[in-house]
Structure 1
Amino acid sequence: MIKLFKAALLAAALSMPLASAPASAATPANALVVAQNIDDIVSIDPAEAYEFSSGEYVTQTYDRLVQYDAPDVKTLAPGLATEWVADDAARTITFTLRDGVKFTSGNPLRAEDVVYSFKRVVALNKAPAFILTQLGWTPENIDEMVKTDGNKVVVKYDGDFSSAFVLNVLAARPASIIDAVTVQANEANGDMGNAWLKANSAGTGPFVLKTFRPAEIINLVANPDYFGGAPAMKTVIIRHVAEAATQQLLLDTGDVDIAKNLTPDQIKSLAGKDTVKVETYPQAAVHFLSFNQKDEALQPEAIWDAARYLVDYKGMTDSFLKGQMQTHQAFWPSGFPGSLDDTPYSYDPAKAKQILADAGIKTPIKVTLDVINSTPFTDMAQSLQASFAEAGINFEIIPGTGSQVITKYRARTHEAMLLYWGPDFMDPDSNAKAFAFNEDNSDDNYQSTTTWRNGWAVPAEMNAATKAARAEADPAKRNEMYVDLQKKVQEKSPIVVMFQAATQVALATNVEGYVNGATSDFVFYRLVTKK
């Protein structure tokens, strides 16, 4: 592993001037090398990318009309559009494009590129397409919903929601703008360039893709003409390193500048080292345990109710999850408007046993539990296996790579699933639609939500409450509606939210300017410098 990694690093270093790499440094002065588990990536095409690691990649290589950008990742800011005018009555937003922007191919940014980018997402209908199609866009009407007007783009939407909601949608990953000329030139069999974009980039972002090998490496090179300023790092190498121990070794030996998946014990062992620093970033991701309702044995609500008392929340957060997660039992993360921070459930196997007995549930019950085969997921699975066994629910742990587990989840072929969820855009509706909405549970109506993937036909009143909150114009009232909706899901759902993540990143002390926001879409390397 280390020899292969050094070979890749050496190859990247040789592509740069020798003067840029001081003899005293293991990594060149103008190269950033990251050790990270990236085997969750299914696709890097922004119309298809729907995993945490692919979201981070898209941010480095593409821009949106409006976006959350470094260093202030909590404020919606101009991106490829410098200004916009909303007409709530007409349900339109008119964007004025930034002058002088070029794609990394050298092609100029045009309003036609925006139209093609949105149309392409809707036509391909990949996993994240629902983020845009919820605006009422279809393959049949997209030409009428998004139009050009010189250097302006007029976006029309159809739905009971405000323009503020629409702007958050258009700041999301699938709304990334691609180079239509380049992508169309690389179409194959009518795929709108999908195959080509799985190995190439075609954006305006601060970096351009040089190499992508799944579960191995992402190599980015700087875009010197980026409208936000050229990155100081000429090269960013994100190397897939699944083992936390290997990540720490590479950081200790100076072979990488950043290690992203260290365990709490490893983080603790770094204290006092003058070559490494640790930074903690609250994350929007919530971690949950879910039961597939396509399995008749898992349909009794008593199993859902008992499960909430069989998670050893404190035991995990006080030990192997310390510093990486906090107990959180609602679908919208703490720290954002509209969050529910009450944690009414604690580990109580006696109460869980009583719930099952009162419902006439015969134990023991054998349930398979799919889990990503890396830390901390395997440790969490083992803790759940031990605590649930106290009430006669016996988990058989099935480990797999991130892509294997997620693919199985999308196919609804699991029994129980240990996974995480991050909002697709920074609006409570993003998670509400994932955890509290499913009006059509049929197998042929694929939806990128936890409810559909777990085969849960959400009660009609909960579906109605989700739609009502999305449409509410008054911000304070809207937040109250989301708090109430979270209480309902918290009390009665086959999806048990357990934790909210916090990311601890270990960096070489000479690395400055790294930005890690609440989601993977808010990871930025363009401001990184080395002292």
Structure 2
Amino acid sequence: MKLLRTALLAAALAMPMALPAGAATPDNILVVAQNIDDIVAIDPAQAYEFSSGELVTNVYDRLVQYDAEDPTVLAPGLAAEWQADADAKTISFTLRDGATFHSGNPVRAEDVVFSFARVIKLNLTPAFILAQLGWTAENVEDMVTADGNKVVVKYEGDFSPAFALNVLAARPASIVDEKTVMEHEEDGDMGNKWLNANSAGSGPFELQTYRAGELVRYKSNADYFKGAPKVEGVIIRHVAEAATQQLLLQSGDVDMARNLTPDQIAGMEGDTIKVETYPQAAVHFLSFNQKKDVLQPEAVWDAARYLVNYKGMTDSFLKGQMEIHQAFWPKGFPGSYDETPYTYDPEKAKQILADAGIETPITVTLDVINSTPFTDMAQSLQASFAEAGINFDIIPGTGSQVITKYRERSHEAMLLYWGPDFMDPHSNAKAFAYNSDNSDDNYQATTTWRNAWAVPAEMNDMTKAALAESDAEKRNGMYVELQKEVQAKSPIVIMFQAAYQVAMDQKVEGYVNGATSDFVYYRLVTKN
């Protein structure tokens, strides 16, 4: 039986890109149709795209990580245990026994030091995440040190160990095999060129083949410290067109289709195909630029919260794509606030405006990305806000055009979405509840600064206090209170949390798709 499974795996991994029409997928290989042309890099020190995040998560481990069993809980990874000293700003990790890289090399404390220093020294796109810990190319090897099977991490900054741990659970904190990587160094690149075509991880899958814009092949790591994956391999075929993905799934050529449209999803479920829905971390919001005089009164913000037809949208064209969520941190993670106190009530909105002496009609431009579902959302807002005399002139544009206006603070109203860079509530609190310098020349990649909202000093102080709080339960409670404040009094109306739908063969079980692309796991998948 072992020989048969091995032969099937070898045959599957040798399959050409175009499978014969109607061909059944191998029994113990998961075959996925997905658009993966967003990948620019797969080296954990450089990877910053959605699809590359999935690859890194399945191939590499971190000291601490959100894992397949429960992607909302920070769990031990390559570290079996750790101790945090908030006063000394130090976390001491003890590595688990017996963990090995795919090369067979043991995972050493020195590999951890190398991996973190490598990210900082290469200083590629995601390096800023680790640099938040006060690490620089000059000091990182003093801030991260090895002693036997222990790693001591020091950090600088007025924040809690919980924040530091979430930073160390982020993608660029993945641990690479120093010996293997440095065997492939070219011109001082610390193996970057080689790692963008190969891998040197310890994760549940080993990267066997990567061809940009074509194919990713994973092979099961039989020696994984949490046990071997339940399938012997995963093949991800690049299929850009949703219609082609649908045909491949319906014909049995693939087990899973990752990029179907809502219309296709609506007609997919049946005896052989099922659809699973997964909440995502991105929150969608409407915001008002405070450089526009008529958008400055708080009554306009208050009324706006009652002029969004939340249920009307989620029951129709957003069905399956989004759920009502009115706070800046996504549901399903510690520190989230999941109450939704606002409903569509144009009469109440009109009364709020009248009581405040706001003269209507008000005409405001609304920038929106020119694609579905954003244009449909803008049209819904245009209709519902008009009920209270707030008239939106919709200005559609490409994503880059809309974002450019947002960064320039030249918009009036904006319909956009926001996702965290890493799974710590401060990642979004900084974006939605902090702006200590609202001057035009103090560019900040936050929704507050981009909407020219001078956040009240009390809210800025709350944000800094939550970041610094060392007690995890108390810290989460502080973020809940902060979300209530933003929800009640800000020019940013948070409306929805995104959802992601995946169609798959009925026999596929155990697929886990967490709130971000970094939380996509194939380790528990079975095909029964």
| Normalised-by-shorter TM-score class | 0.7 to 0.9
Q: Report how many aligned residue pairs link the two structures.
A: 511
Alignment correspondent of 1:70: 68
Match of 2:89 in 1: 91
Separation in structure 2 between the aligned mates of residue 186 and residue 457 of structure 1, nearest angstrom? 50
- Unpaired runs of 5+ residues, structure 2, are 1-8
Counterpart CA distance in 1 for 2:38 and 2:402 is 8
> What letter matches 2:497 in structure 1?
Q
Residue of structure 2 equivalent to 1:118:
116
Q: Deviations over 1:404-442 (max 9, x none)?
A: 689859965884654443444444323212322244667
1:178-193 aligned at under 5 Å gives the runs 178-184=176-182, 186=184, 192-193=190-191
**What corresponds to 2:150 in structure 1?**
152
CA shift, 1:361, in A, is 8.5
Q: 1:22 touches 1:28 (CA, 8 Å); kept in 2? A: no
Number of the residue aligned with 1:3: none
* Map of 1:500 onto structure 2: 497
The equivalences for 1:382-397 within 5 A come to 382-384=379-381, 387=384, 391-397=390-396
Superposition map of 1:466-481 within 5 A: 466-481=463-478
Greater mean alpha carbon deviation, residues 438-447 or residues 139-148? 438-447
* CA distance in 1 between partners of 2:231 and 2:461 (Å): 49
Aligned-pair CA distance for 1:337 = 4.0
- Residue identity opposite 1:366 in structure 2: T
SS in 2 for 1:68: strand
> Aligned AA for 1:140?
E
**Which residue in 2 is equivalent to 1:327?**
324
- Aligned CA distance change for structure 1 residues 65 and 479 (closer, same or farther; 3 Å): closer
Q: For residue 269 of structure 1, what is the aligned residue in structure 2? A: 267
The 3-state SS of whatever aligns with 2:429 is helix
Structure 2 equivalent of residue 204 of structure 1:
202
- 1:121 offset after TM fit, Å? 2.9
Question: Alpha carbons of 1:464 and 1:266: their partners in 2 closer, same or farther (altered >3 Å)?
Answer: same
CA contact 1:435–1:449 (8 Å) conserved in 2: yes
CA displacement, residues 369-406 of structure 1 (integer Å, 9 cap, x when unaligned): 235x4x54454355446556773222222245xxx689
What secondary structure is seen at the aligned counterpart in 2 of 1:73?
A: strand
Maintained 8 Å contact 2:409/2:451:
no
C-alpha contact 2:72 2:333 (8 A) present in aligned 1:
no
Overall identity of the aligned pairs, in %: 68
Taking the TM superposition and a 5 Å limit, the aligned residue runs for 1:124-163 are 124-163=122-161
Q: Higher mean Cα deviation, 230-239 or 149-158?
A: 230-239
Counterpart-to-counterpart distance in 2, 1:182 and 1:299: 61
**Letter matched to residue 301 of structure 1:** Q
Amino acid at match of 2:522: Y
Indicate the residue corresponding to 1:464 in structure 2: 461
Distance 1:311-1:247 versus aligned 2 partners, 3 A rule: farther
3-state SS in 1 of match to 2:426: helix
CA distance in 2: counterparts of 1:486 and 1:28, whole angstroms:
48
Q: Is the 8 A contact 1:438 1:452 kept in 2?
A: yes
TM-fit CA distance, 1:119: 2.1
For residues 410 and 202 of structure 1, the distance between their equivalents in structure 2, rounded to whole angstroms, comes to 39
Map of 1:7 onto structure 2: none
Taking structure 1 as the reference length, the TM-score comes to 0.81
**Structure 1 position 527, deviation (Å):** 2.0
Instruction: Work out which of the residue numbers 418, 421, 426 in structure 2 matches 1:421.
Output: 418
Question: 1:173–1:424: 8 Å Cα contact kept in structure 2?
Answer: no
- 1:449 Cα shift? 4.5
Which residue of 510, 520, 524 corresponds with 1:523? 520
Deviation at residue 331 of structure 1 after TM alignment: 0.6
**1:301 is matched with which residue?**
296
Q: Does the CA contact (< 8 Å) of 1:161 and 1:472 recur in 2?
A: yes
**Residue type of the partner of 2:199?**
S
Alpha-carbon contact 1:301-1:492 (below 8 Å) kept: no
Q: How far is the alpha carbon of 1:203 from its aligned partner? A: 2.0
Residue identity opposite 1:328 in structure 2 = H
The residue correspondences of 1:348-497 to structure 2 (distance < 5 A) are: 351=349, 355=353, 364-370=363-369, 373=371, 376-377=373-374, 379-384=376-381, 387=384, 391-400=390-399, 415=411, 418-439=415-436, 449-451=446-448, 458-497=455-494
Query: Which residue identity does 2:396 align to in structure 1?
Result: I
Q: Secondary structure at the match of 1:166?
A: helix
Give the aligned partner of residue 5 of structure 1. none
CA distance in 2, matches of 1:182, 1:409: 45
Q: Distance in 2 between matches of 1:81 and 1:461?
A: 38
Let me know the Cα RMSD of the aligned residues. Answer: 4.0
Is the contact between residue 327 and residue 487 of structure 2 (CA under 8 Å) also seen in structure 1? yes
1:19-38 equivalent positions in 2, closer than 5 A:
25-38=23-36
Cα 1:191–1:223 change in 2 (3 A) is same
